[in-house]
């Protein structure tokens, strides 16, 4: 038993740090660390910088242009990127559709799609949930009817993240209504520029446009965009959801946000002293830090085991998702609570990087503007990616055999 990183791992961490110091643009890290509004170009720029370094897809095997790093190296990379304020690499292309393409697509599809994911050319989004199919995903109704060399798609997807920027959407569609629901689903890649695709914004509680509905009206999709076999999409979907959960612990980001919470609690004043000296508030931070410490080690235990088995992520990933999402929520809640009355203003401009505050808002410009919105925004984390209730079902059934 040894909880220390090896000398090689330490050296690797230094290499990552050196790279971040040299290549992470300060205008990007300033936005990330300040919790400001991110643009499409911010994500794309960072992906291109990583790709130039050969680190565009650290979770991919080398044969597809990945780094071939082991789980511990990936963890170190994630942690350092988060700490430095690098933009998050959105998972839809890199961590969701790509593993499916690698495992189940034909070589032509792999050649066509994977290079454009890793170099940041294509922006991918997800077409899974439907208004009537959330936790019960297999009940999805979007139809794909084969006509010659094409499928004709009709239906509606929802809870689509950042699809307003997307070039491609990976969709679960119904190709058969025979037999079990799961047996009639196919996995289809759809060009977002296809006629008949409509993206409609869903404004969330923080007032931001991050989520969409995507409508398909007689959309023609070439059959060569089908992944694997028709009606086997459910197998691929489950594989994908397993991958979605491994990154969801978000330990690196939570450690960064904990640091920020402490910094805020040192700046805010309660009874003439820094808020962090208020024992009632400090204990809340301390309790949360215990959760993060435990999750960090649990995360390392799970990914070390995965490294050995090289299989699909195990049900223990559900523990990471549940704890990771709860921690994210508590962090934003305490950051908001630290502000006192200053949690109340809603300053839309305050999310813009360029906003410098104004004289009547005193110290507010520094860090306060985005915090309440973040708290409202991350309520989604216990809902998406398989809600935490579904994760507990997985634990009950797959781990406990209940």
Partner 1 sequence: MNFNYTEEQLALQDTLRRFIAKDYAFEHRRTLAKSDDGFDREAWKTFADFGILALPFHEDFGGLNGTAVDTMLVMEMLGRGLALEPYVSTVVLCGGLIRDAGSNEQKETLLPEIAGGELMLALAHFEAGGRYQFDHVATTATANGSGWKLDGTKAVVLGAPSADKLIVSARCNGGISLFLVDANSPGLSLRAYPTQDGARAANIKLAGVEVGADSMIGAAGEALAIVDRALDYANAALCAEAIGIMSALNEVTLEYLKTRKQFGVPIGNFQALQHRMADMVIATEQARSMATLAAVRADSPDAAERSRAVAAAKAYVTQSARLVGQQAVQLHGGMGVVDELNVGHYFKRLTMIGLTFGDADYHLGKFSDTLLTA
- What minimum distance in Å lies between the beta carbon of 37 and partner 1? 16
Which of 290, 360, 400, 402 binds partner 1 (CB under 8 A)? It is: 360
Query: Cα separation of 137 and 234, whole Å?
Result: 10
Tokens linked to 77: 């990379």
Tokens linked to 179: 């037999």
400 in Cβ contact with 394 (< 8 Å): no
Per annotation, catalytic residue among 79, 213, 230, 244:
244
158 in Cβ contact with 172 (< 8 Å): no
Site track 108-147 with partner 1 (rule: CB under 8 A), x = hit: ---------------------x--xxxxx--x--------
Q: Does 11 bind partner 1 (CB under 8 A)?
A: no
CA torsion 19-20-21-22 (nearest 10°) is: 50
Q: Which is nearer to partner 1, 118 or 137 (CB)?
A: 137
Q: Which is nearer to partner 1, 152 or 343 (CB)?
A: 343
Q: Does 88 bind partner 1 (CB under 8 A)?
A: no
- What minimum distance in Å lies between the beta carbon of 387 and partner 1? 7
**Contact residues for 107 (Cβ-Cβ < 8 A; gap 6+):** none
CA angle 300, 304, 310 (to 5 degrees): 140
Using CB atoms within 10 Å of the CB of residue 346, give its burial: 0 to 12 exposed, 13 to 18 middle, 19+ buried. exposed
178 is known as an active-site residue: no
Q: Which helix (H) or strand (E) holds 127?
A: strand 124-127
Beta bridge partners of 226: 188
Residue span binding partner 1 (CB under 8 A) among the ranges 76-84, 266-274, 302-310, 315-323: 266-274
Q: Does 379 bind partner 1 (CB under 8 A)?
A: yes
The CB density around residue 201, as the number of other CB atoms within 10 Å, is 13
At 34, give phi and psi (nearest 5°): -85, 0
Which of 11, 145, 203, 398 binds partner 1 (CB under 8 A)? It is: 203
Using CB atoms within 10 Å of the CB of residue 384, give its burial: 0 to 12 exposed, 13 to 18 middle, 19+ buried. middle
Q: Does 345 bind partner 1 (CB under 8 A)?
A: yes
Beta bridge partners of 219: 153
Q: Does 362 bind partner 1 (CB under 8 A)?
A: yes
Which of 159, 168, 187, 234 binds partner 1 (CB under 8 A)? It is: 159
Which of 344, 354, 400, 402 binds partner 1 (CB under 8 A)? It is: 344
Q: Does 347 bind partner 1 (CB under 8 A)?
A: yes
The interface with partner 1 within residues 320-339 (CB under 8 A) comprises 336-337, 339
List contacts with partner 1 (CB under 8 A).
129, 132-136, 139, 158-159, 202-205, 207, 211, 268-272, 275, 278, 280-281, 284, 336-337, 339-347, 358-363, 372-373, 375-377, 379-380, 382-384, 387-389, 392
Catalytic residue numbers, as ranges: 244
């Amino acid at each position: 038993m040894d909880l220390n990183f090896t000398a090689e791992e330490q050296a690797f961490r230094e290499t990552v740090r050196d790279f971040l110091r040299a290549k992470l643009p300060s205008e990007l890290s300033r936005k990330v660390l300040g919790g400001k509004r991110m643009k499409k170009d911010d994500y794309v720029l960072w992906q291109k910088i990583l790709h130039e370094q050969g680190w565009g897809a650290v979770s991919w095997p080398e044969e597809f242009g990945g780094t071939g790093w082991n789980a511990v190296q990936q963890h170190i990379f994630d942690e350092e990127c988060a700490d430095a304020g690098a933009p998050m690499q959105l998972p839809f292309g890199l961590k969701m559709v790509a593993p499916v393409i690698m495992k189940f697509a034909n070589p032509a599809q792999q050649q066509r799609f994977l290079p454009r994911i890793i170099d940041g050319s294509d922006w991918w989004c997800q077409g899974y949930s439907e208004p009537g199919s959330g936790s019960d995903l297999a009940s999805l109704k979007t139809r794909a009817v084969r006509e010659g060399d094409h499928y004709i798609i009709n239906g509606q997807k929802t809870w689509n993240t950042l699809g307003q920027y997307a070039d491609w959407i990976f969709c679960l569609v119904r190709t058969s209504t025979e037999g079990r629901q799961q047996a009639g689903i196919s996995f289809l890649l759809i060009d977002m520029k296809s006629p008949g695709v409509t993206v409609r914004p869903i404004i969330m509680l923080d007032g931001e446009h991050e989520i969409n509905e995507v409508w398909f009206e007689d959309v023609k999709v070439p059959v060569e965009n089908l992944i694997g076999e028709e009606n086997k999409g459910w197998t691929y979907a489950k594989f994908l959801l397993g991958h979605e959960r491994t990154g969801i612990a978000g330990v690196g980001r939570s450690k960064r946000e904990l640091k920020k919470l402490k910094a805020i609690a040192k700046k805010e004043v309660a009874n003439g002293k820094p808020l962090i000296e208020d024992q009632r508030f400090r204990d809340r931070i301390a309790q949360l830090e215990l959760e993060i410490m435990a999750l960090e080690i649990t995360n390392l235990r799970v990914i070390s085991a995965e490294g050995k088995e090289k299989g699909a992520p195990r049900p223990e990933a559900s523990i990471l998702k549940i704890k990771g999402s709860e921690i994210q929520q508590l962090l934003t809640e305490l950051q908001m609570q630290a502000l006192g009355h200053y949690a109340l203003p809603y300053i839309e401009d305050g999310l813009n990087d360029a906003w410098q505050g104004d004289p009547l808002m005193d110290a507010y410009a520094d860090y306060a503007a985005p915090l309440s919105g973040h708290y409202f925004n991350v309520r989604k984390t216990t809902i998406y990616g398989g809600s935490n209730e579904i994760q507990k079902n997985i634990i009950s059934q797959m781990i406990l055999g209940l």
